[in-house]
Structure 1
Amino acid sequence: MRTGGAQALGQGSGVMVGPRHLLTVSHVIQWNNDGTAGWVRFTPSYFDGSAPFGVAWAVMTYSKYKVVGPTVDFIEGMYDYVCCVLEHPIGNLTGWMGAKGYTDGWDGGAYWSHIGYPGDLTGGNRPTYQGGIPLDGYWWEFDSHEAMSHYADAWPGQSGGPFFGWWNGESWPSVVATQSSQNSSENNASGGQDLVDLILKARADHP
């Protein structure tokens, strides 16, 4: 995924959460002075220059909080996600994940997997997969909007990549958080019920 305004801003990762609905991270979006978002170009399953499903551009971006990178502060870390509405339903080709609100009752359980495009290992040109990742929501933050720490391998380029799991009785995975930030001691993801509600609003407004 590439983002920018008058010129390219950078790259990140993302996941389809509806027919034309892309979940990614807020801090990779170019937020303009008038409150609008810059361009977003999504290439699902991108691999060394190949685009097996083609490309889709965002036509609208839903956010809870406009996070301006490269740093992510305490408040921003609770809301570092957006749902982009794409120009056409590329999700009908790729499929998409469900979404669930993270709860602290899941803290410490190695339930989660992550996919993203790290800038160090693959130069952002190939996705990497990690499984068996525990998340730990900050106890002083509400489940509706919270940051979660984790110790998965994370690097710029993976921002916006999903943390997802599987539930009994469901044949599809569901995302609970997006990769947000990293430092020398721990990494952080953003999620909560507000993330789910944002996706539901984008899907209701733009089926």
Structure 2
Amino acid sequence: MARFLTAAATAACLLAHANANPVAAREEKVTMKNLLGFDESLINPSALSDDTVIPEITYIQPEDAHFADGATEAAPLTITEEQAKTLSERFINGADDRYQYTDGNYPFRNVGKLFWDNGVFCSGALIGPRHVLTAKHCIVDGVTGYFAPGFDNGEPYGRGRVTNIVSSGYEWGSACGFKGDWAVMILDNRLGDQLGYFGVKLPEASKQDQSIFDHVGYPGDRDGGNRPYRTPGNTVQSFRPWDCDATGPFYTDTDCMGGQSGGPHWENTGDGAYIWGTLSVTFDGGNGVAWSGWGSGNEMLDTVLRLRSEFP
């Protein structure tokens, strides 16, 4: 069973390096520089009734949206075609820019599917030799979890079993809860030694409003969550304030559905790919306007650095 710890907020300007070169994975040095998994059988049908009233702006914690009250196991799903259409469009900003994308190269192969024995699944990314970054709300207690990088109707690079989990002490549902909606998982398999892994860094306000960011995840409304989908050219929106502190959460125009939760928002640099945050929340503003919020920040970065040392 996974062990839960609480992360300390001690890092301010550390940057956890990416490693695209598997040969150097064990010698990596730290330098001083600046929705719950979607499974149609887990949807709460009552949340999709024809008389559902959607407020002008809503945020939905995926575990609340996809589980009946108190449920811990899969339940039958019965929804109409119209309800399914509404579900698939709920968090799409304008046109749906997601498309199926399979790439065996770094860093795309380092995004993978996180799945649990009870059928719940999310997205995540390798951020160390056996370290995975995902969303805190993707944690399922009491069942065994696995991570398979580059999952695409199968496990081309194998899988690792989750042995330990470290998450923040924040509760989901507020700005600081969204910023703190991250978890770092330790695997029993050093997948990153052969595949490389992402770096992690603090968000930079100077890079807002630039369509330079990438996201890959496993949306439950496409191929049953069994294939990776990409949305490139994502923009951090400067007109939405980072309303917990100066390191997040930040908000983007990324098209999202359940199952993409925990997937990375990353920036490609000259020396690798660096994750700014992990998908926490999606918002619906009505009239085809939607946006996403991301777990991020100094506590998350500090935890990545610490666990690479404590669980090499």
TM range (shorter): 0.7 to 0.9
User: C-alpha distance in 1, partners of 2:122/2:218?
Assistant: 7
Cα deviation code 1:120-177 (max 9, x no counterpart): 1232110011111111363443234x21211111000000110111223x1x111111
- Please name the residue that 1:192 is paired with: 297
User: C-alpha distance in 2, partners of 1:52/1:104?
Assistant: 37
Tell me, yes or no, if structure 1 residue 59 matches structure 2 residue 59: no
TM-score normalised by the chain length of structure 1: 0.85
Compute the displacement of 1:94 (Å).
Answer: 2.1
Q: Given that residues 114 and 124 in structure 2 are in contact (C-alpha distance below 8 angstroms), is that contact kept between their aligned partners in structure 1?
A: no
- Please name the residue that 1:42 is paired with: 147
User: C-alpha distance in 2, partners of 1:180/1:106?
Assistant: 20
- Please name the residue that 2:261 is paired with: 159
Residue aligned with 1:194, SS: helix
1:82 corresponds to which of 172, 183, 205 = 183
User: C-alpha distance in 1, partners of 2:159/2:170?
Assistant: 25
User: C-alpha distance in 1, partners of 2:115/2:211?
Assistant: 32
Tell me, yes or no, if structure 1 residue 117 matches structure 2 residue 117: no
- Please name the residue that 1:138 is paired with: 241
Where does 1:100-115 land on structure 2 (aligned, <5 Å)? 100-115=201-216
Which stretch of the first structure deviates more once superposed, 59-68 or 175-184?
59-68
Compute the displacement of 1:29 (Å).
Answer: 0.1
Structure ranking higher on relative contact order (CA contacts 8 Å, 6+ apart): 2
User: C-alpha distance in 1, partners of 2:229/2:169?
Assistant: 28
Compute the displacement of 1:39 (Å).
Answer: 3.1
Paired residue type of 2:163 = V
Residue aligned with 1:183, SS: strand
Paired residue type of 2:177 = E
Greater fraction strand: 1
Paired residue type of 2:292 = N
Compute the displacement of 1:14 (Å).
Answer: 0.5
- Please name the residue that 2:311 is paired with: 206
- The percent identity for this pair of structures is 25
User: C-alpha distance in 2, partners of 1:107/1:45?
Assistant: 29
Compute the displacement of 1:9 (Å).
Answer: 6.0
Q: Given that residues 46 and 125 in structure 1 are in contact (C-alpha distance below 8 angstroms), is that contact kept between their aligned partners in structure 2?
A: yes
Greater fraction helix: 2
Paired residue type of 1:202 = L
Paired residue type of 2:128 = G
Paired residue type of 2:256 = A
Structure 2: runs of 5+ lacking an equivalent: 1-112, 286-290
Residue aligned with 1:166, SS: strand
User: C-alpha distance in 2, partners of 1:11/1:73?
Assistant: 23
Aligned residues: 193
- Give the alignment's Cα RMSD to 1 decimal: 2.0
Q: Given that residues 13 and 116 in structure 1 are in contact (C-alpha distance below 8 angstroms), is that contact kept between their aligned partners in structure 2?
A: yes
TM-score normalised by the chain length of structure 2: 0.58
Would the alpha carbon gap of residues 123 and 66 (structure 1) be closer, same or farther in structure 2, given more than 3 Å must change? Answer: farther
